[in-house]
Amino acid sequence: MYHKSKLGLALSLALSSSFVAANTADAQTQHDIETIVVTANKLAQSIDQTLASVQVIDRAQIEQLNVRDVLSVLETQAGIQVNRNGGQGQNASLFVRGLESRYSLILIDGVRVGSATLGYKSLSTLPLNSVERIEVVKGSRAAQYGSDALAGVINIITRQSQGHSIALTTGSNSYASLEGTSRFTTEYVDIALNAGYERTEGFDVLENDATNFADPDKDGYDNLNLGLNLTHNNALLGQLGFIAQYSTGEVEFDDRWTPESTADKTEYENYHVNFHWLKEFVGIKNKFDLSYSKDQDTTFGFHLIDAENVKYDAAQVSFFETARLQFDYLASYKISEQLAINGGLNWFEESIDVNSIHNTVYDEEERTVYSAFGGAYYDDGNFLANVAVRHDDYDEVGSEQTYNIAGGIYLHQDAVLRVSQSSGFKAPTFNDLYYPGSGNPELEAETSVNRELGLRIDFDSLSVDVAAFRNELTNKIAWAPAPTADNPYSWSPFNIAEARYEGVELTTNFAFYGFDNTLNVSYIDAQKVDNSPTALEKYSDLPFVAKENARYSIAKQWHDLDINLSVAYQSEQKSTLINKIPSRIVWDLAANYQIQQQLTVSARIENLFDKEYIPSQGYGVDIDGDWVNDAFYHYNEIGRQLFVGIAYDF
């Protein structure tokens, strides 16, 4: 188990090139054995002071897990479920407290990223070797971040290595990776570098049998990535920083609609750059950020060129690009030892570029957002209170006002009881508003109210975080018939749905007879609300959300060897068809052995007992001609896999 003092020290070092650097000195003096985070309230605080469900996963924990991707790290946390469409690099759905991917805001180095057409950031191709740590905040944070943060915020901070390292890994499905980091410090600048390349032949991700026409081939993945972090500290100017992270590669996939195709693949290119300036004036700590990000996907495959003779041709099928220019100003001021305030301005412009064989042309391809927020944070050692409000103004969509109110009480110096209520919203995507033939430019933002009651206990040998929550979505966008004179069968999205997500989650770490134990458990009831007068039932289960998830891991260190055994349980899920996706139990085993101070070998066996299971639903199959006794064919499970690696620090 990671002792609080060791983890706090590691994190305080890692935060040196972000906004936390301007605040950590004061916070660290008061909480020198606490983990300091900045994502929850855009202010350097201990986790207790955030009055939210916060988990921090640092680089040491990532390396102990020996996993291959960011999603594998995230699904170790309570309240997070990942449904995969195959193996590494393939599409995957991220559910946070039952809400699908589009309702979680993804930040990289504090920069908003992702597709403006889909409305979310895909994490499947984000290289894990470029990640220093991950801060996960669950529950609505719209008052701090605006749109998309209805389920929570995941802030991924890129590598800030303390030295030089190189690592090689190989494993099942012809997996191979090479990664390295380096750090140089001069009188004027601190430079951190990271780079990596990984590839795998993969496996056939979609089930093949007599009832479907999926591609009978392996579906591989590769990724090349580079990163740079520059920091300059000056007594007169303050801190100047520059962060850049770039990744590119391709993912092969199966497409039911192009039989016998082996040409289906997506090439991607993603990057972001961030310039920041930290400076204190008359007691006010200021941070200025200018960022630019781009997410680009180009899909290739067979398309029909001769329907009569059923002839296909391999070609580029689509090109989607989102570019986002963003400016942020953030200020914080400590009024007293008990009270701090912060506030800021945010502006971003997002634009899309689309090219498709279907001649997809959007009516609008650009929009601008203006925002302002302010917050106050109180802690007198007995009681805590956080209040934040925000105003966002979206082109073509309108304005939204959001809030966050939270209170807490110290039951003990290491135990805090908290309660909160917050509102949230999600602006319609470009697809929702303007997709040719189906977009609805009259759409309004989806809105939510989130309530939470939680308790956090943090002793040296025991930590517990338990939370009960309820999140209600209204004005939810759903598809409905919208016949026109040209097309009487057309459908469009409307603000007509409601949903309710409620549940309980538990995260606990404890030491027992020399073994370090971690238990994460969640129960989530995700319900669609039907208020129509003809409804037979007001509530019905939403698909693809497992009500129960549990993960238990036990770790032990013997001298230079540490071993971690984990088991994950997921209950059955409702599908969109008549079938249910069955429950499953999967075991994993990881080990690390330090041969000498600078040399470590590692190994991991995933799906230790080669469990057969259905990771997610594929396409429907009409068995009897009327979709009554319908079925689905599914994505194939990740069978037993073995990975071994070696790392050298110098």
Model confidence pLDDT, tens digit, residues 576-621: 876 788 999 999 999 999 999 999 999 999 999 999 998 888 766 5
Instruction: Count Cα neighbours of 541 within 13 Å in the Cβ-side half-sphere.
Output: 15
Model confidence pLDDT, tens digit, residues 433-484: 999 989 999 999 999 999 999 999 999 899 999 999 999 999 999 999 988 8
DSSP designation for 583 = P
Chain length of the chain: 650
Other beta carbons within 10 Å of 504:
16
The rounded percent of the chain whose pLDDT value lies above 90 is 75
* Calpha distance 96→545 (Å, rounded): 10
Which residues lie below 8 Å from residue 273, measured CB to CB, with a gap of 6+? Answer: 242, 243, 244, 291, 292, 293
Structure tokens at 353: 């570029």
pLDDT beyond 60 at 32:
no
* Contact between 324 and 346 (Cβ < 8 Å): no
Model confidence at 629, pLDDT cuts 50, 70, 90, reads: low
Percentage helix, strand, coil for the chain under 3-state DSSP, each rounded to 5:
10, 60, 35
pLDDT beyond 80 at 9:
no
Other beta carbons within 10 Å of 385:
15
Other beta carbons within 10 Å of 82:
20
Structure tokens at 298: 């180009």
- State residue 101's pLDDT score: 96
Residue owning tokens 């991917």: 101
Which residues lie below 8 Å from residue 635, measured CB to CB, with a gap of 6+? Answer: 84, 85, 86, 90, 205, 206, 207, 614, 615, 616, 617, 618
Other beta carbons within 10 Å of 477:
21
Residue ranges of the alpha helices (H) in 361-442? 430-434
pLDDT beyond 70 at 521:
yes
Other beta carbons within 10 Å of 478:
12
The mean pLDDT value of the chain amounts to: 89
Model confidence at 23, pLDDT cuts 50, 70, 90, reads: very low
Strands (E), 47-164: 53-58, 80-84, 92-96, 104-108, 111-112, 131-138, 152-158
Model confidence pLDDT, tens digit, residues 197-230: 999 999 988 876 545 556 678 899 999 999 999 9
pLDDT beyond 60 at 310:
no
Residue owning tokens 């994490």: 123
* Calpha distance 231→106 (Å, rounded): 24
Least-confidence region, from 9-18, 331-340, 418-427, 530-539: 9-18
Structure tokens at 345: 């301005």
Q: Give the mean pLDDT of 150-161.
A: 95
- State residue 24's pLDDT score: 38
* Calpha distance 133→109 (Å, rounded): 10
The burial class, CB within 10 Å (0-12 / 13-18 / 19+), for 113 is: buried
DSSP designation for 104 = E
Question: Phi and psi dihedrals of 74, rounded to 5?
Answer: -65, -35
Which residues lie below 8 Å from residue 523, measured CB to CB, with a gap of 6+? Answer: 503, 504, 505, 547, 548
Least-confidence region, from 552-566, 614-628, 634-648: 614-628
DSSP designation for 62 = H
- State residue 8's pLDDT score: 42
* Calpha distance 187→548 (Å, rounded): 54
- State residue 305's pLDDT score: 57
Question: Phi and psi dihedrals of 523, rounded to 5?
Answer: -120, 120
The rounded percent of the chain whose pLDDT value lies above 70 is 88
- State residue 359's pLDDT score: 72
Give the range of the structural domain holding residue 384, as residue numbers without chain letter.
4-649
Report which of 551, 610, 549, 546 is spatially closest to residue 581, judged by C-alpha positions. 546
From its phi and psi, is residue 138 left (phi > 0), alpha (psi between -120 and 50) or beta? beta
Top-ranked range on mean pLDDT: pick from 16-30, 519-533, 567-581: 519-533
pLDDT beyond 80 at 79:
yes
Three-state secondary-structure class, residue 427: coil
Model confidence pLDDT, tens digit, residues 500-510: 999 999 999 99
- State residue 208's pLDDT score: 66
DSSP designation for 206 = B
Beta pairing, strands 561-570 & 548-558: antiparallel
Least-confidence region, from 287-291, 388-392, 619-623: 619-623
Structure tokens at 216: 């009978």
- State residue 532's pLDDT score: 77
pLDDT beyond 70 at 632:
no
Instruction: Look up the CATH number of the domain holding residue 213.
Output: 2.40.170.20
Give me the number of domains the chain comprises: 1
- State residue 391's pLDDT score: 98
Which residues lie below 8 Å from residue 66, measured CB to CB, with a gap of 6+? Answer: 590, 591, 592, 602, 603, 604, 643, 645
Q: Give the mean pLDDT of 63-70.
A: 95
Q: Give the mean pLDDT of 239-256.
A: 92
* Calpha distance 87→91 (Å, rounded): 9
pLDDT beyond 80 at 630:
no
* Calpha distance 597→594 (Å, rounded): 7
Structure tokens at 181: 């980091």
* Calpha distance 581→634 (Å, rounded): 9
Model confidence pLDDT, tens digit, residues 100-132: 999 999 999 999 999 999 999 999 999 999 999
Q: Give the mean pLDDT of 170-188.
A: 95
